[in-house]
Amino acid sequence: MSTPSTNTADLKALKVRQILPTEPAIRTTTVGSYPVPDWLPGSTSESAIIDATRVVFDTQRQNGIDLPTDGELYRFDPSHPDTNGMIEYFVRPMGGTRQDFGRKETEEFRRKQTMGFRAKPAAVVDGALSEGCLDLLSDCVRASAVSGGPFKFTVTSPYMLARTLLDHHYGDFESMLMAVADVLADQVRGLPCACLQVDEANIPGNPSEAPLAAESINRVLDAVDKDTERAVHFCFGNYGGQVIQGGTWKALTDFLSSLHTDHLVLELAHRPAEDLDALKDVNPDIKLGIGVVDIKVNHIETADEIAARIKTAEKVLGPGRIGWVHPDCGFWMLKRSIADRKIEALVKGRDLFLGRME
């Protein structure tokens, strides 16, 4: 089985299926990653990835998720299990990058960077960044062909990617960052998905760079098709199931309000209660997505717990402010049996809150 054709007619046909659900008032979604099935690493053929992606979609749809994600299984890199390949998948195919480096450049990266979860750069930038072999369209087409309806496609933010690079070409971080953003902007145009989500897990710990990060993220969001929902996901890290970044949402409300997004996807289940109060100041034109499932613990939330979290959030933020509920982050660090039961609880809890359960 091969990836579906990407000619204009086929892309239009795939796009027709990508109509974002508008009901109920609070919709459910997942954030991105899903646990890699035990059988997939031993057979990473194209047909195996397609089959696994179909399983991920079907699992979510059978449990009632309104906007599922593809699970990002094609990005998994066993050489980088701490980040699930979310960095290397994007930067290593780019033109202008190099992945072979020794002690000198490793030490140079350590002196310049403050990313505690990385001891080495994802790549060294020796020339002008370009598309190279990066091809998000093919991966989105693959997912769209087996999605069974509207779905969300995810892209790591240019700011987070740029922070993992060692620059030997541009001479300043801002120039390199905007070059990364331009590459991603070209990649997200015309993708056959109902929603394009940009993922950022580094800026919560570096709020002083928020204006620069917003500029780069907006460059990507502005390239998304007008009929495609735009989302931005923020969390405080999910490396090995651990919190990596310090900080609070209060320090980021101006940043969140400046984003050219339709809704936000925010970690809140694993956060202190006062973080909710800060979100009252976010631009009211941006719908809020509230994390109500904690992915850093194995505890399976009950429907009552999920409903209570939504009720608390609505009481603080006001009626009509919450558009989405979801897990705090991706599920890839959890066992499938845990992830699937949390997905089921998410929908049942949302339904309980809305009075939809029989």
Whether the CB-CB separation of 93 and 129 falls below 8 Å is answered with no
Q: Is 38 exposed, middle or buried (0-12, 13-18, 19+ CB in 10 A)?
A: exposed
pLDDT value at 161 more than 90? yes
At residue 303, the pLDDT reads 98
Question: Cα separation of 75 and 71, whole Å?
Answer: 9
CATH number, domain of 125, equals 3.20.20.210
Residue pLDDT, tens place only, 312-325: 999 999 999 999 99
Cα dihedral sign, 80-86-56-23: positive
pLDDT > 70 fraction of the chain, expressed in percent and rounded: 91
Which strands make up the sheet holding 165-167, listed edge to edge? 95-98, 123-130, 165-167
Residue pLDDT, tens place only, 294-309: 998 999 999 999 999 9
In a domain, 314, yes or no: yes
In a domain, 168, yes or no: yes
In a domain, 2, yes or no: no
Domain extent at residue 181: 8-354
At residue 1, the pLDDT reads 42
Amino acid code (one letter) for 39: W
Nearest in space to 60 (alpha carbons), one of 38, 28, 14: 28
Amino acid code (one letter) for 46: E
What is the three-class DSSP state of 331? Answer: coil
In a domain, 3, yes or no: no
Residue pLDDT, tens place only, 169-187: 999 999 999 999 999 999 9
Residues with Cβ < 8 Å from 5, sequence gap 6 or more?
none
113: pLDDT confidence band, cut at 50, 70 and 90?
low
Reading the block at residue 158, the tokens are: 């240019």
Phi, psi (rounded to 5 degrees) for 293: -125, 120
Tell me the β-bridge partners of 327: 293
In a domain, 68, yes or no: yes
Q: Structural domain tally of the chain?
A: 1
In a domain, 155, yes or no: yes
Least confident stretch, 11-15, 39-43, 118-122, 207-211: 11-15
At residue 4, the pLDDT reads 55
In a domain, 195, yes or no: yes
In a domain, 1, yes or no: no
Q: What is the mean pLDDT of the chain?
A: 90
**Which range is most confident: 83-97, 102-116, 212-226, 344-358?**
212-226
Residue pLDDT, tens place only, 257-303: 999 999 999 999 988 888 899 899 999 999 999 999 999 899 999 99
